[in-house]
Amino acid sequence: MIEVLKVKPIMTQEKAEAYEGEMLGDNDYIKLINYDCDVFCEETGQLLAKFRKNQIDKKLIVDSFPAFVEAAKPNANRGAAAGKIDGDKMRYFKVKKDGTMSKTSVTKVANSGVMGFMDRSIRVPYCRTTEYTTNNISKYEKCLPIIKLVSAKFKELVPDKWQYQKDYCDRTSQDFVINDTVFTTITVNKNWQTACHTDKGDLDGGFGNLVVMRKGKYTGGYFVLVKWGIAFDLQNSDILFTDVHQIHGNTPIHKLTDDATRISLVMYYRENMIACGVS
């Protein structure tokens, strides 16, 4: 039985946006969802999330877990998700070894890497296969069954959003699309409580596809949609389809064993990939 839940906002959009860069606490949600559920905004009818339990074969998780863990590297360019550093600042300029100030701003470091493909940026002015994928192709291939499965579940459960992303993928150079999916890129986070943020760079009008892989024992790490005060508890083999353009973040991760590991996967189409291969 799939529960259909209609929720009212518990704050204005302006107040929700004021949470950007803030860390959530264990009590920063009203309702915790740990069962199959479709969630809609009661006021607008907007689909906020579809949560499904036990969607991924555990063997796929065991086979791919080491590769995903390795992909989550220290990263100092994660924007608001990295949290505030001092007061309201979320980026700062490092002092170089020669004592001069770097011209490139950075964020707090998080264990967060990317698989698949990336579009052009100021730092790297060309589309490319990510470094991890290039250097670890056999490990990357072990991750593909889960990525393809999530795309198939996305098509089944949120077909309009899937088709929207599929249309973009069909118009994109296939050199920069993950085969048999509607994704170009996978962000992999390890033991990272993200601060409140909206996802940047992914397709406006697309939808977030989230999976959490767990090892050891811990509590927390719930995914929270701040404006509605709802949280989701993702266990191994669960999938969350959600509007990542809404302010969201995680509750604290409380380790109960030394080996406790939380790997979160965010699968998406990067909006500017459609221009890759176009001079």
Give residue 146's pLDDT band: very low, low, confident or very high (50, 70, 90).
very high
Nearest 5°: phi and psi at 190? -120, 125
| Predicted pLDDT of residue 26 | 96
Q: Which pLDDT score is estimated for 90?
A: 62
Separation between Cα atoms, residue 178 and residue 148, nearest integer Å: 9
Residue 94: is its pLDDT beyond 70? no
Question: pLDDT at residue 104 above 80?
Answer: no
Tokens 């979320």 sit on residue: 90
Dihedral angle over CA of 130, 150, 77, 197, nearest 10? 160
pLDDT at residue 91, as a whole number: 58
**49-92 pLDDT per residue, tens:** 999 999 999 999 999 999 999 999 987 777 788 788 776 766 55
Q: How far apart are CA 222 and CA 231, in angstroms?
A: 6
Antiparallel, parallel or unpaired: β 239-242 and 47-52: antiparallel
Average pLDDT of the residues of the chain: 92
> Which runs of consecutive H residues, i.e. helices, occur in 46-135?
58-71, 131-135
HSE value, Cβ hemisphere, 13 Å, CA-based, for 81: 23
Mean pLDDT calculated for residue range 197-226: 96
Average pLDDT over residues 158-185: 97
